[in-house]
Structure 1
């Protein structure tokens, strides 16, 4: 008999080009937006990796076996990861993106065990893909996602079957997550009146995009700007520099990890399995961080004509940890770097869902 959970789960999803973020009432997840075919690894280890790590499969990709989630970095084989980097409808219609949506729902309920689950979902998209946030399917992008998600989702995780019924879905502009996260605490009490009563600019430095929105309080709308390049492009440039300087090819995901654990003061070092080998990449990383900062500054100068009218320019997303915030603040004193910026949006999506009674 299939086990059925009694409670409904509120799931907040942020499927960025570079990182997937998930939040429920029990857990938060942050891991690469990627999956790895089991068949690409199973013949290269005495102990098959599928016996040590969760294996996902669903009908959208012919029930093939894939690794997905927090264990990907441990498994490795980064050069064989399958990603869903893209923009607009082309990305949302992609089989890989849809599979990862289903897998992400599986991750969100996995701690409750296999069986039947009911969820409500809040997901954020770039402003240009959202249209009128009050309507579920007024843009092709929103319709594509809602048509796929609403209703029954079925997947298998390591041989155990999960049936997930998506009862309701809210699709909101990506920036709205950061705003809601800054305004409300976990008890849904207002903790920052300033955001509500003023005009602010939110710049989301994502894996594949730069998304800017200038909005008044918590209103849904306002001026938007952006570019179809992001952290992934910066890492690719760093990868090219390292290859040119040292004739060493280092996977983009490894370089991203080096940026996260290193610092300008302590340096950025590549240390593979052989601990006797240590490659100092500090000069290359500092150069690429400066280039990234200069590009963002140039975009801000063009798009933010009257910064003096803004209460704050909020820098969020994964790129907020790469950019030199002090250089932004020198020219734009209104700049604030959002704390735990990679999770700010998804936490706000979750709070938004609670405000509207989702998951109850």
Structure 2
């Protein structure tokens, strides 16, 4: 039975299967992509307008989806969604209350399952049976949220992508506390076995600092189980993007949006600087504003971390994860915590960890 790992974040969706990770038996093993990364927002397909021609001709990486969770509507979703310039019509799942019971979340989860199923021919000729593993922030790791997610994911799913129908049957749902994902990814290899020189993490007290699109999460794991202290703040990447926008606008440069800042930070080389190009004829250096905002944001993050952990001397390791952790000034973190570790593949570490842990769980059942 296949394992699908879904990290359905506020800003991005990260998806892992045996096909993406390059596990044994996968043809993609020689050049795995590790995870599929897509935006956590989507569009009503009718809102694409004239862009539907570009989508149909495959000039944009956007697909047409129809979800059994909302069969009367068609949706557009893909990595090039930002290029249609319809941000005001994006359907978002971001929210800090009742997120998992919303129709938008159910549709996003359905499309994510369908996106992974694309790589498995049996989903198109029969019914692909899978185990789905996912995670939620510590604040949401309770019976109500777990029940809502399980209800959404468990059972039969019919997803149509570009008129290609797929049937997936989710036989089991595993819901993990989100910080465990990064820890599992550090401890386990791609087959779900313990990495020898990382085994000590299983018995240590670890702080996991997860800086995502919508939230900053500070969690503590002891023997890989949730422990105190922990904190969840609505100060993820969006706060950094908004701060950069304010600084740029105050300098007299108009028109830049938080979404454009996000794309700029994602695709620019810090060594070459940051340049805002509102059109093909103009280019404005905003490097000074970006660096100032990152410096302030790094201090704010470390203040939250230090306040939460309260100078605890019992922490053995501090793991920084989440896509935004790549933007932090690492010297600021290591000044406070010399044993801090900025994990590899931080953007997809949770999804990878959920997948590896599910592999280990399934393997243990057959022993």
> Does the pair score TM above 0.5?
yes
C-alpha RMSD over aligned residues: 2.2
Q: Alignment partner for residue 155 of structure 1, among 159, 162, 179? A: 159
Counterpart-to-counterpart distance in 2, 1:331 and 1:236? 26
Residue 232 of structure 2: aligned partner? 226
The number of aligned residues is: 343
Residue 30 of structure 2: aligned partner? none
Contact persistence 1:239–1:249 (CA under 8 A)? no
Q: How does 1:174-323 map to 2 (within 5 A)?
A: 174-187=178-191, 188-191=193-196, 192-272=198-278, 274=280, 276-323=281-328
- Residue 59 (structure 2) pairs with residue 64 (structure 1): no
Deviation of 1:70 (Å): 2.9
CA offset digits 1:48-76 (Å, max 9, x no partner): 53443420012433432211133424555
Deviation of 1:95 (Å): 1.4
CA offset digits 1:268-298 (Å, max 9, x no partner): 1123551x32121111111111121111111
- Residue 49 (structure 2) pairs with residue 42 (structure 1): yes
Counterpart-to-counterpart distance in 2, 1:51 and 1:95? 30
Residue 130 of structure 1: aligned partner? 141
Counterpart-to-counterpart distance in 2, 1:49 and 1:31? 16
| 3-state SS of 2:156 partner | strand
Counterpart-to-counterpart distance in 2, 1:190 and 1:219? 19
Deviation of 1:254 (Å): 2.4
Residue 166 of structure 1: aligned partner? 170
Residue 114 of structure 2: aligned partner? 106
Query: Which TM-score applies when normalising by structure 1?
Result: 0.89
CA offset digits 1:239-280 (Å, max 9, x no partner): 233233334223333211211233443211123551x32121
Contact persistence 1:211–1:225 (CA under 8 A)? yes
Contact persistence 1:264–1:286 (CA under 8 A)? no
| 3-state SS of 1:60 partner | coil
Runs of 5+ unmatched residues, structure 1 = 1-7, 132-138
Residue 93 of structure 2: aligned partner? 84
Residues 44/69 of structure 1: CA separation in 2 closer, same or farther (3 Å cut): closer
- Residue 42 (structure 2) pairs with residue 31 (structure 1): no
Counterpart-to-counterpart distance in 1, 2:69 and 2:279? 36
Residue 143 of structure 1: aligned partner? 147
**More deviation, 345-354/331-340:** 331-340
Counterpart-to-counterpart distance in 2, 1:263 and 1:296? 23
Residues 242/298 of structure 1: CA separation in 2 closer, same or farther (3 Å cut): same
Contact persistence 2:256–2:278 (CA under 8 A)? no
Runs of 5+ unmatched residues, structure 2 = 21-34
Residues 212/73 of structure 1: CA separation in 2 closer, same or farther (3 Å cut): same
Deviation of 1:204 (Å): 0.6
**More deviation, 36-45/96-105:** 36-45
| 3-state SS of 1:336 partner | strand
Residue 15 of structure 1: aligned partner? 8
Deviation of 1:353 (Å): 0.7
Counterpart-to-counterpart distance in 2, 1:241 and 1:334? 33
